Each structure stands twice: as structure tokens, then as C-alpha cells.
């Protein structure tokens, strides 16, 4: 993985001249996204190409000590920086290579396949006993309103967490699914899940509701709000403003 955490990614953007730090106070309700909307529609300016720079708001109104990184995948150059490639076509070529693997015909073919198989082995998730995500655990005193979650448009129903990784389990097979479904913040403990009927997460939910009606089973679900950058780079284009709150 190219970057171990969000801070390392911000440092890489800064060194590449792809980051603009905004120290003036900005409101997470409409103002941050309005500024980003204008910047993201820029043509090439100075060192940055079309799409403007990534923006790091360092003085968020009502949230002392918090920062918001936005427009981080708003240009082809930053996408290539995140994926550590010179061309986005390199990713397609790698996927095609793995899809066209043929059964080895002899010992020499098997030996030639060893490096590829070793790389494939790195793709699967590894279970660990702990990690940085467990350094701070809040339960009874937790509130979503502690984070500068953005309201993007004047007629939106409220604030939305726009780039979570929502993890569900298929009740039948036990297989994991990670989807990017927006979360509509209702209050400090409640969100509405925005997933269309055809999405895997929605089908897992419907199946679990059937199981609950029959057996009283609960539906396990996790929403991760700060996943490694490369893990959701391919889906970042789907949302206009992927935003990540940062706590110092």
C-alpha cells in the first residue's frame, strides 16, 4: 500500500504541489462545498492541471482542531499519485493480466507463475489482533456531531457522510461486501443508509430482515470512515465531493 495513513497522503499531495491549505474560517454547512465546487471546475492553473488542487480546510467553523480534506481525487494526476502509476491504463492492464491467467502446462510454466501467485496472495485481507483504529474507542459518549460532516447543497435533507466504506456480510454465504453508500446524518447516533435496491449491501439487509422476522437475528454492519486511500480511489469519481474529517 502506497500510504500508511491519511497524514502521509496529505504530505505526498503537499510535496507534489497538489494541495492548497485554507487557513481562513470556513463553514461545513454549504460554504466548504461551494468553494470546492468552484475550484474543481478550474482549468489548468500554474502547477495544477484541470480540476484544481486538493483543499485542506484547517479552520472549520464550530470544530476547533478539526480539518477537512476535499477534492483529493479531483484530477487525473492525483489519481495516478494515489495509485502509484504513470498511467491509469496500467491498472487495467494488471487486471487483464490476472483475468487471462492460463493453467500451466509444465514445470517451467509453473515456475514462471510463482511471482504472479505471490502478488495474488497479497490481495486478500489479513486478520490482525489490533490496529491504529482501536487507539481511541468511544461508546457511551460518542456523537456523529463531533465531526465536521458537510452539507453540500441548499436543498439537501441535511448532512451526508459521502465516502464511507460500508461492510456487510451475506447471510447465506458469509462473504464480505464493501460498498460506498452515502449516510444521511439524522442526529448524533442515527444515519439513513442510501443504497439502491440492486446493491449488494441492500440485498444483504433485506435477507437479514427476513431472517430476523423468522429467527430474531440481527444484521451486522460496519461503516469505516477513514479507509486507506487506494482502497476507494476507483469509486471516488462517483461522488462529487469525497470529504474526510480529520481530528488532530
List phi, psi (to 5°) of 83: -90, -5
Query: Which of 155, 207, 156 is closest to 182 using CA atoms?
Result: 156
pLDDT at 239: 34
> How far, in Å, CA of 72 to CA of 77, rounded?
10
pLDDT at 241: 36
Q: Where would I find the beta strands (DSSP E) of the chain?
A: 19-22, 54-57, 66-70, 160-161, 165-169, 176-179, 182-185, 191-194, 221-224, 243-247
pLDDT at 229: 52
Q: How far is CA 214 from CA 30, 39, 121, 170, 218, in A?
A: 44, 52, 39, 17, 11
> How far, in Å, CA of 48 to CA of 20, rounded?
10
- Where the chain has pLDDT below 70, the residues are 1, 46-48, 214, 216-220, 226-248
CB 196 within 8 A of CB 206: no
Could you give the 3-state DSSP secondary structure of residue 48?
Answer: strand
pTM, full prediction: 0.78
Could you give the 3-state DSSP secondary structure of residue 16?
Answer: coil
List phi, psi (to 5°) of 124: -80, 145
pLDDT at 159: 96
145 grid coordinates: 456531531
Amino acid at each position: 500500500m502506497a500510504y500508511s495513513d491519511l497524514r502521509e497522503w496529505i504530505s505526498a499531495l503537499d510535496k507534489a504541489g497538489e494541495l492548497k491549505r485554507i487557513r481562513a474560517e470556513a463553514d461545513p454547512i454549504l460554504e466548504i462545498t461551494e468553494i470546492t465546487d468552484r475550484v474543481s471546475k478550474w482549468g489548468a492553473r500554474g502547477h495544477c492541471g484541470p480540476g484544481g488542487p486538493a483543499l485542506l480546510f484547517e479552520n472549520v467553523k464550530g470544530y476547533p482542531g478539526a480539518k477537512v480534506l476535499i477534492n483529493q481525487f479531483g484530477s487525473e494526476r492525483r489519481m495516478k499519485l494515489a495509485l502509484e502509476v504513470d498511467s491509469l491504463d496500467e491498472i487495467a492492464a494488471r487486471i487483464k493480466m490476472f483475468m487471462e491467467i492460463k493453467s500451466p502446462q509444465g514445470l517451467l510454466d509453473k515456475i514462471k507463475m510463482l511471482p504472479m501467485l505471490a502478488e495474488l496472495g497479497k490481495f486478500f485481507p489479513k486478520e490482525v489482533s489490533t490496529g491504529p483504529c482501536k487507539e481511541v474507542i468511544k461508546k457511551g459518549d460518542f456523537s456523529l456531531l463531533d465531526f465536521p460532516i458537510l452539507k453540500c447543497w441548499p436543498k439537501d435533507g441535511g448532512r451526508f457522510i459521502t465516502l464511507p466504506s460500508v461492510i456487510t456480510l451475506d447471510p447465506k454465504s458469509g462473504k464480505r461486501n464493501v460498498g460506498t453508500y452515502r449516510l444521511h446524518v439524522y442526529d448524533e447516533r442515527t444515519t439513513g443508509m442510501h443504497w439502491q435496491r440492486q446493491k449488494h449491501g441492500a440485498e444483504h439487509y433485506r435477507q437479514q430482515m427476513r431472517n430476523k422476522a423468522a429467527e430474531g437475528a440481527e444484521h451486522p454492519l460496519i461503516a469505516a470512515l477513514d479507509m486507506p486511500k487506494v482502497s476507494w480511489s476507483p469509486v471516488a469519481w462517483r461522488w462529487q465531493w469525497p470529504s474526510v474529517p480529520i481530528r488532530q
